[in-house]
Amino acid sequence: MSGPALGMTLPQFTGDPQRLIDTALRAEDMGLDSIWVFDHLWPLGGQRERPILEGWTALSYLAAATSRIRLGTLVTRSSLRHPAVVAKMIATVGEIAPGRIVCGMGSGDEGSRDENEAFGIPYYTDERRTSQLASTVAVVAALLRGERVSHEDDFARLANFPVSPRPERRPALWVGGNSEEARTLAARVADGWNGWGGSAGTFAKRVAAVRKASAGRDLEISWAGLVMLDETDEAARARMGKRDPSGYLVGGPETVAAALAERVAVGAMHLIATFPNAHEPHVLELLATRVRSLLGS
C-alpha cells in the first residue's frame, strides 16, 4: 500500500447486529484497511431511546467475523470503566484478532456529560479530566506490556494485577483528542494520535505540535471526521438536509478525495470516515473504489 490507510466507522446506531456485520464484511471484502466503533451507552444528542450497540461487545463479534481488517475504537472513554477492565477487554479481543486491534483512548467531550451523569459516573471539566485519561492510559499500557501492576490515585486502585492471557502481538494504543493535553499525551506514551475533524490547516498545526512533542518517537497519525459522500457533489449536498455542513466533508468521490488528500499532505497516515449513511452499500463502494483509487491507497 503506497497511499494512506483508509477506514470507516460502522453503523453502530442500530438494534440490528447483522447490519453491523454485513457492513464490516463488505468493508473487508472491498479492501478497506480498518473499521471502527464508538464508545457510548446511548447516542449523542440526548436520543436515549434510539438503539445503539455497545462498542467493545460489538468489537468482539466483529473480531470473530473478520480475518484481515484492523478493528478499533474511536474512542474508548477513560471515565466509563476501571483501567484494568479496559486492559482485560483489549487483551481478550486481541486474542480473538491477533495484531488487528487498535484501542483509541480519550476523555470524551461535552456531548458525553449527560451520559456520564445519567449513569452516576463523574464527568470532570477541570484538569482532572486530562489526569484521568493519562492515568488510564498509563495503567492500560503497563498491563498490555505484561507488567504486574499496583496503582492508586484519585481515579482507580489496583493491587498486584496482571493481564492473562496477553496477546503476543500487543494491540496498538492511540490517544484521540484535539486538546493540547491529549496531543501531548499521545506524543509521549501512545502508539498513535487521532485528530477529529477541523480544516486541513488546523489539522496541520495539530500534527506539527504532536510531532514536536514526540521527540522523534514513531507515531501513527490519523484523521477522522464526518463525511457525506455520494455519486456527485450535488447528490451529496442534497443528502445533507438540515445538517450543518461546516462539520462535514461533503461531495462526490473527487471532492472528498481531494479534501482527504489535503490531510494526507500535512501528515495523516490513516483516514477514517464517519458516514451518516454508512449502512448504504453504494457509499462504502464509492469509498473503497473511487476515493481509494484517487488517494493512491
Give the Cα separation of 159 and 202 in Å (integer): 42
Q: What pLDDT was estimated at residue 297?
A: 83
CA distances from 195 to 170, 183, 225, 242 (A): 23, 9, 8, 25
Give the Cα separation of 104 and 145 in Å (integer): 17
Nearest to 194 by CA among 89, 72, 42, 52: 72
Whether this model's pTM surpasses 0.95: yes
Domains of the chain (ranges, CATH numbers): 5-295 (3.20.20.30)
pLDDT tens across the length of the chain (297 residues): 579 999 999 999 999 999 999 999 999 999 999 999 999 988 876 678 889 999 999 999 999 999 999 999 999 999 999 999 999 999 999 999 999 999 999 998 888 898 899 899 999 999 999 999 999 999 999 999 999 999 999 999 999 999 999 999 999 999 999 999 999 999 999 999 999 999 999 999 999 999 999 999 999 999 999 999 999 999 999 999 999 999 999 999 999 999 999 999 999 999 999 999 888 999 999 999 999 999 998
Q: What pLDDT was estimated at residue 2?
A: 75
Q: The C-alpha cell of 292 is what?
A: 481509494
Within 13 Å, how many C-alpha atoms sit on residue 106's CB side? 25
Q: What is the DSSP letter of 113?
A: H
Q: Are 199 and 259 in contact (CB under 8 A)?
A: no
Nearest to 56 by CA among 97, 26, 111, 25: 97
CA 126 to chain centre: 24
Q: Residue type for 149, please?
A: V
Tell me if residue 4 falls in helix, strand or coil. Answer: coil
Q: Are strands 157-161 and 149-152 parallel, antiparallel or unpaired?
A: antiparallel
CA distances from 95 to 35, 82, 169 (A): 18, 20, 9
- Segment 75-124, tens digit of pLDDT: 999 999 999 999 999 999 999 999 999 999 999 888 889 889 989 999 99
Q: The C-alpha cell of 74 is what?
A: 474511536
